[in-house]
Amino acid sequence: MSIGSSAALRALIASRRAMDVIGHNLANQNTPGYSRQLALLATTTPVQGNHLLRFGTGVEVAAVRSSVNEALLARIRSELALAGRSQAQNDMFDQVETLFADLSENGLATKLQGFFDGATEAATSPEDPVLRQNLLASASDLALSFRLRSSGLKELRTKSLLDAQGVVAEANQLLQQVAGLNSKIKTEEAPGVTANDLRDQRAQAVEELAVLIGAQSTVIGDGTVTVAVNGVALVAGGAANGVKVTLDNQGDMKVTTLTGKLDLKPNAGRLGGIIHMVDQDLKNRLTELDRLAKNLVLATNRVHAKGVPASGPFTSLSSSFAIDLSQVTDLQNTALENSGLPFAIKDGQLSIAISNLASGDVERFTIDVDAESMSVGGFIAALDAVPHLSAFLDGAGKLQIKAATGFGFDFSARLDGQPVEGNSFGASNAIVAGESTYPLALTAGSTFTLTANGGAAQTVTFNTTDFVDINSATADEVATAINAQATGVIASVIDQKLVIQSTATGPSSSIQITDGTGSPAAALQLALSATGTSTPVTVSVTGSSANAAGQNYTFKAVGDGQIGVTTGLGVEVYDASGALLTTLNVGEGYEPGTSLEVVEGVSVSFSAGTISGSAQQFFGLEVPGETDTSDILAAFGLNAFFTGDDSGTIAINSVLEGKPELLSGSAGGGPGDGENFLALAAVGDKPLDELDDVSLAGFYNLYAADLGATAAGTKASLDSSTLVMLTLEQQRANVSGVNPDEELLDLERMQQLYDASVKFIQVLRELDDTLLQL
Amino acid sequence: MGIRVTPSSMFDRAKFDLAASFTRLARVQNQISSGKRLQFVSDDTSDASRALDLRRTMLATLKSRDAVGAARTAADQQASLLQDISGLIIDARARAQEAAKGSNSPSDLAAIANEIDSILDQVLALGNQRAEGRYVFAGSKVNTVPFVATRSFGSITSISYHGDDASRRVRLGPNDLKSIELSGKEAFFRFNREPTIVTSNTGLDSVLGASDTMTGSAKVTLAHTQTVFGDGVVATTGDSVSGLKPGTSSANDTILGPSGEHSITVVSSPSGGGTLQLDGGTAVEFTGTETNLAVTSVSGDVVHVDVTTLTAGFNGNVALTGNGEIALDGGTPQALTFASDVSLQSADGRVVHVDTSAVFREGEALLTFGGTETIFDTLIQLRDEIRGANGFGDQGQVERIQARAGALDKAHTLLLTGASDLGARSQGFERLENSLDLISLSLKTRESELSDTDLVEASLELSESEAAYQSALASAARLNRPTLLNYL
């Protein structure tokens, strides 16, 4: 065969091969991941002729090359990983936003406002059971809304694990596929050819892995690729290392290789998106929702605990929260701060109002609470020591408080309407009071004589044995010493003052004291003479005052005589520092029973009767402020509105369910008193320390705004990724896509080559025929 | 090398554009059909957050408006009741005027007293009125009957208040609370003391500017105990100059007053007979043997005189001293000193100052402490006054009825003051209600602007979206363009 014939034959073959490649391109123009292939034509090796002539031998298909831009592919894989993450987050945010439905009537903000508005409405007619029930219903609705969102978030986290496991299963198949393709490519390319189609399939699989788990790949010299996530190789050569998803002790997702040795910590791809949502976003949102719910419970219970139900003071009360007796076994040695109660106890004071249910008289007792040094048992003992109260922990660890028969208790800040204690002011008994402050120094063996009710003079001697330290005598010790030696009188300590009162009443009741050796009466600053009266005085206090909250006042009689009659009769009012605030005229011109304002909002009135300044008659008045600065009521859930301590457990106190009359809407005890409902209504707008000086309503607005902003950011990120991907895909299509027009033109060209080659062969045959005819 | 465009990229682009167009179309359609521009906060975080805040404020405002509305209703209810009671008081006033005519027969007075009694019952019923399950005038003790009557033979003798001083308050906003209504004490027991009025023909008077502390009204009894003639040195009370001395019924004398307040003019003959005149009254003849001659003054005062020791031929005036006692509301009497400021004290320690310097006759005095009497007390006392059952005698009944009628005027004023106070509150609440209505409307409008669909804008956008979508569809339909194949 001549060189020409050979060249023609090679051209025929080359053009057919090229047309095959074109046909392959046309066939795969819509195949995902397919990259257009090009048949590269090249001249064959020339032959050496005579006279240094070299003759070409034709053409051949030297190679079939894919049109691929590796840098572009790498960029696409990166973007796919980001898009996968954004898509997963976006899908989940859609569900979270649907769950919260903040812009609907069922939004938590609306429910929260509805609850506080319910309190506002209840305050308009506190005695109305319908309004009370409405408040309970709105509270129940609010609690349910919290729980639904909490369970929804938790369910999303649970479902996300299934999603993640599905993603991982799909990824594991692809990893196997990539490893298999690696092996095939290595084998097929061993002779020096390029396995274009296999490489396309592998690239497609790697891209899917980028979407799923954010995997990136690196081409190795032998044609294989390494697939890795965060530096952890999952495919190396023909070997694949699968991955798995598990939950750790914190409920967080953990993605490791199947052996469990390597932690991938994926932050891209759908898996990265899911993990970010589950371990951070959803978790944080649940945490913040819990924080809101917990502080709603705390703030509401703080107020409700200090109210009084429509039925009046409590005769018994059980805490809503219990001490875990399996954990706290030694109550006497377990500090309050370690009690395990859901809310923290602070150092502060608890003020308890004990009411005489028959007379309405209120006596107030204060317990100092030190969360660190006071034990649980110590607190219960302190409660139990309050007169007319008993307190204990029941078998379930709940604090039980009971009042003695005829008494009630509450934690309200209402004033003691009848503030005189122990007959210290205007009583029918003769009383003498001492002005001294304690402790004070008394002389050992000092004496005074005391005559009670016209009886015989009695000598009272103060011996060292009567005192722990007679140089530092306490009022209680002095009173005990007097009671041990004198009859016809009772010495007691009232508001840190010594008071000696006759056991008799009326005008025949009298006390005369004559100071003796060592002048103890002078040291005690005792009044020396008093007579009883048939016209005792009743002192009444009304009102409440935020301005005077937490203040103590002492009222002292000035002058002796009859209320409303005696000229110059007055009552001096001192503050806690001993400064004289005012002198009330209760003598001539004062109408008995008329209220006289002591401080803004607090008034006192005196009935007709006789008082004595010379006997140093006095009484104290405490204007309660915050009755629980320790939060111990909220910690135990005493008279709680809500129970639970997070968004998943919040609920209205079961004791209140169906019993709206037990709602503590009153601050003073009257059924038509809605002051505590008003205080409840104000809770929503009040900045809370626990929420960094943000109100409950404000906190949720921020919460909803943050959810919206984050969701919008994710959506924007997804939109951006989608656009970028569109551009990148178009760039890839520009490089690797199949254009049928191009292919058809190439086909035409190859067909022409083919035709020309055939023609050339025909010409050669005609030449041969002509030669043979010679 | 120029840009290569492949059919695949064109199809992909078309798919993307179609999806985008369709999404936009669907979004606008959804906005129109739901009426909401914002479905989720993420649709427009800024607007949605503001909308949320506005909605919260709007809900609170609406609730405040409702609460203020309830407060207005409550204030109106109280005002209406006080108006009704005020009408009854006007009726009682008219009856009192009728009773004070002085020409009524006992049966007429009894009938009027019964009418007053009926009015009292009606006032009590209105004071104990309930609205929406609560006693309107009980303060915070809304389940307690505020005014409890003590009755004797069916008639109310006293009424005590069992409510408290509390007044409901309504929350208008954070830290903004306002009182709604009056307690029963404020409505019926509001005191605004006025000068003490003494209704009496004894010469007793009040002391101007004194610090009286008694409330309501009181009865002062001035009783004659002894008449002293002249220097009073004969037999304790007889006159040594004229020889006149108290008659045997001297205890029934009615005069009171210091020496000289009253006098007897003696005209006698040396033979023993003559005439006596008390304060220029009718001359009474005597023979000289009378031991108990009653001498009456023009104003009806009486002195009993023993003329048996009259100095024969004595002519002239003999000064009389009418000693007596004064007692408050049946309390322990104290001797009259005829001082200008005598302090009288009630059993409950309340004080009234009276001027006894002009007292000239025994009798009773009604002391009225204006502005301190409850409406119920006034009606009770008026009724009893008309019935003559107030512990006073017949004398001065008309004056006392008139005094009670004056107290009714005060009560009426008190009621009108209360009603006016409530009316002002109600008007304030109404203005506030309107204001809150406007605020909530404004908030609603703003919230709607932020979250609701602007239908005009949305319709235009829908048209645009439809056009864009149709164009995208048309463009996509033409993607299957002719290729080179068609020409080969």
Strand-pairing partners, residue B276, are B266, B284
What are A604's strand-pairing partners?
A: A541, A596
Domain membership of residue A213 (yes or no) is no
A437 and A570: one domain? yes
Asked if A376 and A334 touch (Cβ cutoff 8 Å), the reply is: yes
- By C-alpha distance, the chain B residue nearest A703 is B49
Same domain, residue pair A463 and A505: yes
CB–CB of B349 and A608 under 8 A?
yes
pLDDT above 90: residue A616: yes
B-chain residue closest to A595, CA distance: B165
Report the sign of the C-alpha dihedral through residues B465, B468, B471, B473, in that order: negative
- Whether residues A599 and A501 fall in one domain: yes
DSSP three-state, residue B112: helix
Residues of chain B contacting A121 with CB distance shorter than 8 Å: 63, 66-67, 70
Q: Which residue has the higher pLDDT, B380 or B348?
A: B380
Q: How far apart are CA A154 and CA A649, in angstroms?
A: 13
- Looking at residue A137, its amino acid is A
Considering only residues 623 to 682 of chain A, which have any Cβ-Cβ distance to chain B shorter than 8 Å? Answer: 666, 668, 670-675, 678, 681-682
Residue A571 and residue A443 in one domain: yes
For residue A548, the model assigns a pLDDT of 66
Q: Tell me the backbone φ, ψ of residue B118, rounded to 5 degrees.
A: -65, -40
CA distance to partner chain A, nearest, from residue B451 (Å): 8
Mutation to test the A interface, candidates B65, B168, B485, most A Cβ within 10 Å: B168
Distance from the A743 Cα atom to the nearest Cα atom in chain B, whole angstroms = 10
Distance CA B396, CA A335 (A): 80
pLDDT in tens, A544-594: 666 667 788 999 999 999 898 888 999 999 988 888 988 999 988 888 888
A612, A528: one domain:
yes
Residues A564 and A446 grouped into a single domain: yes
d(CA A202, CA A237): 12
Selecting from B12, B345, B485 the residue whose C-beta is nearest the C-beta of A744 gives B485
Q: Which residues, 6+ apart, have CB-to-CB distance to A394 below 8 Å?
A: A318, A400
Selected residue of B5, B6, B179, B191 to mutate for chain A interface (largest A Cβ count, 10 A): B6
> Which residue is it, tokens 């769950």?
A99
Q: Does any CB of chain B come closer than 8 Å to the CB of residue A109?
A: yes
The parent domain of residue A396 ranges over 315-414+629-638
Chain B residue numbers with beta carbons less than 8 Å from the beta carbon of A30 are 8
Cβ-based neighbours of A225, under 8 Å, separated by 6 or more? A178, A182, A202, A206, A217, A218, A219, A235
Residues of chain A with Cβ-Cβ distance to B56 below 8 Å are 109-110, 112-113, 697, 701
The pLDDT of A744-753, averaged and rounded, is: 91
CA–CA min distance A563, chain B (Å): 7
Residues A444 and A409 in one domain: no
Asked whether residue A529 is domain-assigned, the answer is yes
Q: Could you tell me which residues come within 8 angstroms of residue A724 by beta carbon, excluding any fewer than 6 positions away?
A: A79, A83
Mean model confidence pLDDT for chain B? 88
User: Are the CB atoms for A409 and A314 separated by under 8 Å?
Assistant: yes
Domain-embedded: residue A487: yes
Closest Cα in chain A to B209: A589
Bridge partner residues of A61 (DSSP):
A41
Q: What's the average model confidence in pLDDT over A622-647? A: 92
Instruction: Give me the helix-helix angle, A696-736 and A108-124, nearest 10°.
Output: 160
pLDDT digits (tens, 9 = 90+) for B137-146: 998 888 899 9
Beta bridge partners of B264: B278, B318
How does pLDDT run across A641-693, given as a tens digit for each residue? 999 999 999 999 999 998 999 999 998 878 888 889 999 999 998 999 999 99
CA nearest to A706 within chain B: B45
| Residues A599 and A464 occupy one common structural domain | yes
* Percentage of the residues of chain B whose pLDDT score is greater than 70: 98
- Chain B residue with the nearest C-alpha to that of A666: B140
Domain count, chain A: 3
Instruction: Report d(CA B240, CA B237) in Å as an integer.
Output: 9
Q: Is position A357 within any domain?
A: yes
- Binning pLDDT at 50, 70 and 90, where does residue A174 land? very high
Nearest to A116 by CA among B63, B67, B437: B63
Nearest CA distance, A216 vs chain B (angstrom) = 25
Q: In what order do the strands lie in the sheet with A580-585?
A: A580-585, A570-574, A551-558, A618-623
Q: pLDDT of A84-103, one tens digit each? A: 999 999 999 999 999 998 88
Provide φ and ψ at B121, rounded to 5°: -60, -40
What integer pLDDT is reported at residue A178 of this predicted model? 93
What three-state secondary structure class fits A528?
coil
Q: Which of A590, A673, A678 sits opposite B177 (nearest CB)?
A: A678
To the nearest whole percent, how much of chain A has pLDDT over 90?
64
Which of A176-180, B215-219, B247-251 shows the lowest mean pLDDT across its residues?
B215-219
Strands (E), A534-574: 539-543, 551-558, 560-562, 570-574
Per DSSP, the three-state class of A49 is coil
The reply to whether A263 falls in a domain is: no
Give the tokens for residue B300: 């009806």
Of A638, A662, A690, which closes a domain?
A638
Within 10 angstroms of residue B208's Cβ, the number of other Cβ atoms is 9
Q: Which of B138, B174, B213 sits opposite A591 (nearest CB)?
A: B213
Q: Looking at residue A133, what is its pLDDT?
A: 94
Same domain, A507 and A407: no
* Beta-carbon separation of B140 and A123 below 8 A: no
Question: What is the average per-residue pLDDT within B124-148?
Answer: 91
Residues 123-142 of chain A with CB under 8 A from chain B are 123-128
Indicate whether A436 and A408 sit together in one domain: no
Confidence of residue B3 (pLDDT cuts 50, 70, 90): low
Give the integer Cα–Cα distance in Å for A474 and A524: 11
Residue B385, judged by CB atoms within 10 A of its CB (0-12, 13-18, 19+), counts as buried
Residues in A 17-56 with any Cβ partner in B closer than 8 A: 29-30
Distance in Å, alpha carbon of B168 to nearest chain A alpha carbon: 7
Q: Give me the mean pLDDT over the B11-34 stretch.
A: 87
Average pLDDT on A487-508 reads 92
Is-contact A636 A399, C-beta < 8 A? yes
Name the 3-class secondary structure at B421.
helix
Model confidence pLDDT, tens digit, residues A423-455 = 899 999 999 999 999 999 999 999 999 999 999
- Note the pLDDT tens digit of each residue in A217-275: 988 888 899 999 988 899 988 899 999 998 888 788 888 888 877 788 888 999 999 99
Q: H or E stretch including B48?
A: helix B45-99
Statement: residue B393 has pLDDT above 80? no
Cross-chain residue pair A124–B70, CB shorter than 8 Å: yes
Q: Return the closest-CA partner of residue A206 out of A244, A158, A171.
A: A171
State the Cα torsion A82-A85-A86-A92 to the nearest 10°. 180
Chain B contact present for A711, CB below 8 A: yes
Residue A282 lies in a domain: no
Which chain A residues contact residue B488 at CB under 8 A? Answer: 744, 748
Q: What is the pLDDT of residues A126-170, one digit of tens each?
A: 888 899 999 999 999 999 999 999 999 999 988 888 999 999 999
Whether the CB-CB separation of A435 and A525 falls below 8 Å is answered with yes
Interface touch A708/B49, C-beta < 8 Å: yes
Span of A358-367, A603-612, A705-714 with lowest mean pLDDT: A358-367
| β pairing state of A570-574 and A580-585 | antiparallel
Supply the pLDDT for residue A711: 92
Minimum mean pLDDT range among A416-425, B104-113, B259-268, B432-441: A416-425
Supply B79's token pair. Answer: 């005002």
What pLDDT does residue B171 have? 79
Query: How far is the C-alpha of A392 from the C-alpha of A376, rounded, in Å?
Result: 10
In which element (H, E) is residue A319 found?
Answer: strand A316-322
Q: Which of A638, A663, A687 is the last residue of a domain?
A: A638
Chosen domain end from A623, A657, A686: A623
- Short-list A87, A91, A77, A34, CA closest to A208: A77
In a domain, A709, yes or no: no
Pairing state between β A529-531 and A539-543: unpaired
Residues in A closer than 8 angstroms to B171, CB to CB, are 120, 123, 678, 681-682
Amino acid, single-letter form, for residue A471: N
Short-list A750, A660, A610, CA closest to A132:
A660
Question: Does any domain span residue A523?
Answer: yes
How close does chain B come to A418, measured CA to CA in Å? 15
A55 and A24 share one domain: yes
Whether residues A476 and A384 fall in one domain: no
pLDDT of residue B37: 86
In this complex, do A705 and B142 lie within 8 Å of one another by their Cβ atoms? no
User: A597 to chain B nearest CA, in Å?
Assistant: 14
User: Across residues A367-384, what is the average pLDDT?
Assistant: 95
Domains of chain B, earliest start first: 55-194+394-438 (1.20.1330.10), 197-369 (no CATH)
* Token code pair at residue B283: 């001359």
A59: nearest Cα among A760, A766, A767, A769: A760
Give the HSE-up count for residue B344: Cα atoms under 13 Å, Cβ half-sphere.
32
Q: Give dist(CA A714, CA A93) in Å, integer.
A: 8
Residue carrying the six token digits 């809101």? A292
Stretch 558-597 of chain A: residues touching chain B, C-beta under 8 Å: 562-565, 588-592
Is A156 within 8 Å of A99 (Cβ atoms)?
A: yes
